[in-house]
Amino acid sequence: MNKYLQSSLVAAFLAVHFILGYQAIEVISPTFDEPVHLAAGYSYLKADDYRYNSQDHPPFAKMVAAVPLLFLEAALPIQHPYWREIRRYQYPFSNIFLYHNKVDPERMLNSARMMMICFSLALGLAIFFWARGAFGVMSGFFALALWCFFPPFIANTTLITTDMALTLFFFTTVYFFRGMFITAEAKRKNLALTVLFALSLGLCFASKYSAVGILPIIFVLWAYLFIYNKPASNKLFWQLVLGVAGAFLALLLVYRFNSLSDFYFYGLNKVVNGINSGRASFLLGKHSTTGWLYYFPVTFLLKTPLPLIAMIVAALVIKRTWTKDNILFLIVPAAVFFAMSCMSKVQIGHRHILPVYPFLITLVSGMASYPRHKIWKYLLGVALVLYVVLSVKVHPWHISYVNEIVGSQDDGYKYLTDSNVDWGQGLKELGKYLKQENAGGIYFSYFGTGDPSYYGIKYAPIGFYDSMEAPIRTGDNINFDAQDKVYFAISATNLQGTYYADSNVFGFLKNVKPKKIVAHSIFVYDLKSDTETYKRFMGVFGRK
């Protein structure tokens, strides 16, 4: 295949991925943490102040997202009292920033989301180059196809979060380390690889605190070389020293030479303590604050397309897969990161294991270049076509994607909640549905930080979960007795009681069929059409 055709096909895959992401951006409302991340990123750029959200995430991805706001000239209300204690009031401040700015909220949000797609596009290129270099051109395009239509990648690259940035730089850091490893074994030097490794490692650290998990992986790989080729390991050791020093320089540049101890190491300490202390979580109908060792294996099985799972299993059982290069640089990084994730007591989303997928996709792509028996080509082709069809089927609601083990996309909430299924993304779609129904005011229990009023929703709040320190979402004065229809809309995460002291507070709705499930994440009940449910609802919440 000539270079021109290769470049054209790569561009086509990138364009398809971009279009899928763009279409998703157009329909989803703000997810839970996006307003905070956007406001924080803008504060770093405008105020050179890194306090905002530093206890949760490093700044790089948020800064990249906020770049368009500089051109939109969005206001940053640092004169507001919340700013003085921004680490406490990060959510109410973000509400003011997003919904009380001179720039339209959706324009700010969606322009920032477009920047996030760049992380996934770069990841796609990295996967292609690794697969092509390791296995051949056909494997490169096979990997690119798997990346292009992978629902969790599309879901997370359309959001202002830190997960896709981590996934990109985690993968590229190992990729450049692999190059250093190979050149050290061959007794060659390559300064460019060391510089790229340093930059990638630094941006990895600057994207998400869980990036520190790459250090034991690098140590394990270096230790292998030390055992089997000590002279080469000595050469690689000094390259690593130089690379780590360069990474910290890159980290300092991201923080613009502000104190790392006041921001980066402060946040890292907070996150490590949080991982050890746990957080409320829901899995397979059960609730926990300390988690389960099998949480991420289950989310992997439920949120990975079944054809890809089949291909991963096939790749792992084929003897030809188990080469030194594959084991060291594809299997070990994925396995170690996955194992470390399982140790965490903070279990709120499949997105936390996203970094394992580029390695698995690259590993799987190797099968496309194995001996081309007709039956083998046929099976791979069928699996890939099925993979694409099943992935596109959920478009544009990739956030709530679950595979056929669960059944319908509307059934995901029975097994998982929070960012796995319901992260607040359905607010805009709910507004459209209620307008079509001429529904008037509704009772509403929302999981998210978006403003229902912005989407034309008149509501009486019932158990909102939005992390606001103050009662900001007070709703509207509604005379429900004057309405022919009385609707109650509830987010799936709240329906399962994930973050309530009484996890069964909405248990009386579990066996009631909703009138509509919006965006696979918001359940709408017609209370007046079901007298018994209406009575129980009023008995619990005392609304008239």
pLDDT at residue 372, as a whole number: 64
Give the H or E element holding residue 41. Answer: helix 34-47
Task: Give CA torsion, residues 156, 455, 418, 107, to 10 deg.
Answer: 20
Cβ-contact 184, 239 below 8 angstroms:
yes
Average pLDDT of every residue of the chain: 94
Place of tokens 């194995």: 370
Return the number of other C-beta atoms located less than 10 Å from residue 181's C-beta. Answer: 25
pLDDT at residue 376, as a whole number: 79
pLDDT at residue 544, as a whole number: 43
Q: What is the mean pLDDT of residues 282-306?
A: 96
Nearest to 166 by CA among 158, 178, 156, 181: 156
Is residue 265 pLDDT above 60, yes or no? yes
- DSSP states along 246-262: HHHHHHHHHTTT--TTT
* Three-class secondary structure of residue 80 per DSSP: coil
pLDDT at residue 16, as a whole number: 98
pLDDT at residue 401, as a whole number: 97
Is residue 195 pLDDT above 80, yes or no? yes
Q: What is the mean pLDDT of residues 362-375?
A: 85
Q: What is the mean pLDDT of residues 272-297?
A: 92
Task: Give me the percent of the chain exceeding a pLDDT of 90.
Answer: 86
Is residue 67 pLDDT above 80, yes or no? yes
pTM metric for this prediction: 0.96
Task: Give CA torsion, residues 435, 436, 438, 440, to 10 deg.
Answer: -30
Residue 472 in tokens:
């900001």
| Interatomic CA distance for residues 180 and 177, integer angstroms | 5
Of 139-148, 316-325, 352-361, where does mean pLDDT reach its minimum?
Answer: 316-325
Amino acid symbol at 119: F
Is residue 542 pLDDT above 70, yes or no? no
Is residue 232 pLDDT above 50, yes or no? yes
Cβ-contact 170, 204 below 8 angstroms:
yes
Residue 340 in tokens:
């470390």
Dihedral-angle region of residue 502 (phi above 0 means left; psi in -120 to 50 means alpha; beta otherwise): beta
Is residue 456 pLDDT above 70, yes or no? yes
- DSSP states along 450-509: S-GGGGT--EEESS-B---SS---------GGG-S--EEEEEHHHHTTTTSSSTTTTGGG
Task: Give me the percent of the chain exceeding a pLDDT of 70.
Answer: 99
pLDDT at residue 468, as a whole number: 87
